[in-house]
Structure 1
Amino acid sequence: MMWTKAAGACLLAAVTLAGCAMPARDEMVPERMAFAASGMTQEQAKIAALRADILALGPGIDPAEAQRVAEVAVLKPLQWARDWDVVDPPLVHNMKVNHGLKPRGLCKDWADDLQRQMWALKLRTIDLHRAIANSRNVKLEHSVLIVSAKGARFEDGIVLDPWRQGMGRLWWSGTMDDPRYSWDAREDVFAWKREWKVRVAEDR
């Protein structure tokens, strides 16, 4: 399959309809830039910043666990981006995955693999949550992993999103502070979809 101008035009239209313009570059907010100024690499700076944000979720979080979670969240997606040959913006890569041109790299793939990696850490003081946005509207549905303090709600956690900026570069924020998406628990979305399918079948 050739990547034609027509295909590009279709993608532009899809992006416009989805309302999901991607950030142009991997930005660090000013307070996190201080880490980079200390001589750290960008990845080290992001790990340190994410670790600090995870620890701020609650006093019971083990600093060693926060470190391991931050390392996995920042470094593993960069490896997967290489494994999956991610060289395009997220929505372009999605189209290529859906047409069989690339092996993986949909938002669900990033979230699934990140969750598996976090499970392997056998976390005791941090909980994992799955969340979905845009499940009930015409915009592009999006899936992520959220981490929180043990026993806390996903709304009080941190969204970990390696898809949003492309190339496996991790983006994160507090769940309720996300400027682009409003998140629902994945189990609630799945339950709603099952009920919707039943209603549709009964109306036929």
Structure 2
Amino acid sequence: MKSLFATLLILTAVTLAGCSTNPTATKGDVEELSVALQSLDPQVDPDEARRAAELAYSYSAHLARQYNVTTSPIVHNTLVNSGIKERGICVHYAEDMQARLNQENFQTLTMLRAIAEPKNEFRIDHSTAVIAAKGNGIYEGIVLDPWRYGGKLFWSATTEDSRYNWEPQLKVLRRKYERRMAKEAAAGS
């Protein structure tokens, strides 16, 4: 009964979500991100900022095609988590975006990862890539979130993203580990 309900829920969501269009970026979008990257620090190379901005937009769209995203991100997550699709949840976008931008071997920019734990019990963690000036952390960087709009890049200063409370990935993972260990210790007492 549970699997029938889940299947009906997925089919309903897919039908209501409709097909998404291929995300596109304008020259102005890329220029705006490039300027924001340059403003992170006076040492940021303008050519690196431009290249990073171009790649962030083009690779976001590439990932949506690669993951075969045809629905909303939440519906796509359900399809991945149920085994119908292989990739395309936020952590996949974050991993792949970070890996692709790291291939550029930027000298003045660095790629980082952030996680936002849910604000309520009905939501799940959200992962993203963050780009910052070399030597800076996520709070001085810019969130690059291609998952949020199904391959259309969302970006903002980390501290100005009103939808999520971003923290460094390792800090969140360490806290989750400590919670799990405390829970296991309490259960074993």
Superposition TM-score, scaled by structure 1 size: 0.79
Give the secondary structure class of the aligned counterpart of 2:58: helix
Is 1:162 aligned to 2:149, yes or no?
Answer: no
Task: Output the CA distance in 1 between the equivalents of 2:132 and 2:31.
Answer: 17
Shift of 1:42: 3.4
Q: Equivalent residue for 1:21?
A: none
For 1:174-185, what aligned pairs fall within 5 Å after superposition? 174-185=157-168
Task: Output the CA distance in 2 between the equivalents of 1:183 and 1:50.
Answer: 19
1:134 aligned residue (94, 117, 123): 117
Count matched residues.
177
Q: Equivalent residue for 1:52?
A: 35
Q: Equivalent residue for 1:195?
A: 178
Gaps of 5+ in 2: 14-19
Amino acid at match of 1:83: Q
Q: Equivalent residue for 1:108?
A: 91
Shift of 1:52: 0.7
Shift of 1:7: 3.8
Is 1:145 aligned to 2:157, yes or no?
Answer: no
Identical-pair percentage: 35
Task: Output the CA distance in 2 between the equivalents of 1:169 and 1:82.
Answer: 11
Change (3 A) 1:90 1:154: same
Is 1:80 aligned to 2:63, yes or no?
Answer: yes
Give the secondary structure class of the aligned counterpart of 2:69: coil
Task: Output the CA distance in 2 between the equivalents of 1:101 and 1:192.
Answer: 31
**Preserved CA contact (<8 Å) 1:43 1:74:** no
**Preserved CA contact (<8 Å) 1:94 1:106:** yes
Is 1:68 aligned to 2:51, yes or no?
Answer: yes
Task: Output the CA distance in 2 between the equivalents of 1:153 and 1:25.
Answer: 34
1:96 aligned residue (66, 79, 93): 79
Change (3 A) 1:73 1:42: closer
**Preserved CA contact (<8 Å) 1:43 1:75:** no
Task: Output the CA distance in 2 between the equivalents of 1:54 and 1:104.
Answer: 28
Amino acid at match of 2:79: K
Amino acid at match of 1:164: R
**Preserved CA contact (<8 Å) 1:47 1:67:** yes
**Preserved CA contact (<8 Å) 2:10 2:75:** no
**Preserved CA contact (<8 Å) 2:138 2:167:** no
Superposition TM-score, scaled by structure 2 size: 0.84
Q: Which runs of 4+ in 1 moved over 6 A?
A: none
